[in-house]
Homo-oligomer: A and B are copies of this chain.
Amino acid sequence: MKKTTKVPKQELAGSLADFLCFAVYSTNLAFGRAYKRLFDELGITYPQYATLIALNEAGEQTVGALGDKLFLESSTLTPLLKRLEAAGYVTRRRDPADERQVRVSLTSEGKAIFEQAFCGRESVIEATGLDPETFVRLQRDLITLRDNLLAASDK
């Protein structure tokens, strides 16, 4: 007995493997696991590491500027920064010239942790198993995708 009438429905259904969003989502989870050992040793998390990178890169800056770079809301950053402050890795102080703003900067301990994490990333880069060409292309394509998505959802 033929089942051809059911085939079109099947084609429409879609599997997880067909979703670009799921590829991004699951790869993000995989990166988290790949970095886990290193970050556990250092006592930080991935978003905290990204924050340290941004602070190391651009020096003292406001919560808002940090959020722009990290694509995070202040409601996410405030508690994260408080944890980094409690750990002694950043300082937070109100800007005297505009008391609404909070300026964040790396302490020397924060810079040290950043450098340790930065060195430790070598093993993760190796774990990607990508040849340099694919690595660079993937990064470029992802950034294009991200910026397109953000531009579209800001409308």
- A104 CB to nearest B CB, Å: 15
Query: In the complex where A24-B24, A25-B46 touch, is A148 in contact with B134 (Cβ < 8 A)?
Result: no
For A28, give the chain B residue with the smallest CB separation.
Answer: B28
A75 located at the interface, meaning its Cβ lies under 8 Å from any Cβ of chain B in the complex: no
Query: In the complex where A20-B135, A31-B24, A50-B22 touch, is A118 in contact with B149 (Cβ < 8 A)?
Result: no
A87 located at the interface, meaning its Cβ lies under 8 Å from any Cβ of chain B in the complex: no
Cβ contacts under 8 Å, A113 to chain B: none
Give the secondary structure class of A's interface.
Answer: helix
Cβ contacts under 8 Å, A129 to chain B: 144-145, 148-149, 151-152
A97 located at the interface, meaning its Cβ lies under 8 Å from any Cβ of chain B in the complex: no
* Residues in A lying within 8 Å of B, measured CB to CB: 12-17, 19-31, 33-37, 46, 50, 53-54, 56-57, 69-72, 118, 124-130, 134-135, 137-139, 141-153
Offer 24 A-B interface pairs, CB within 8 angstroms, sorted by A: A12-B118, A14-B57, A15-B53, A20-B139, A22-B53, A23-B138, A23-B139, A23-B142, A23-B146, A24-B24, A25-B50, A26-B70, A26-B71, A27-B149, A127-B148, A127-B152, A128-B145, A128-B148, A129-B144, A130-B144, A130-B148, A134-B141, A137-B141, A141-B141
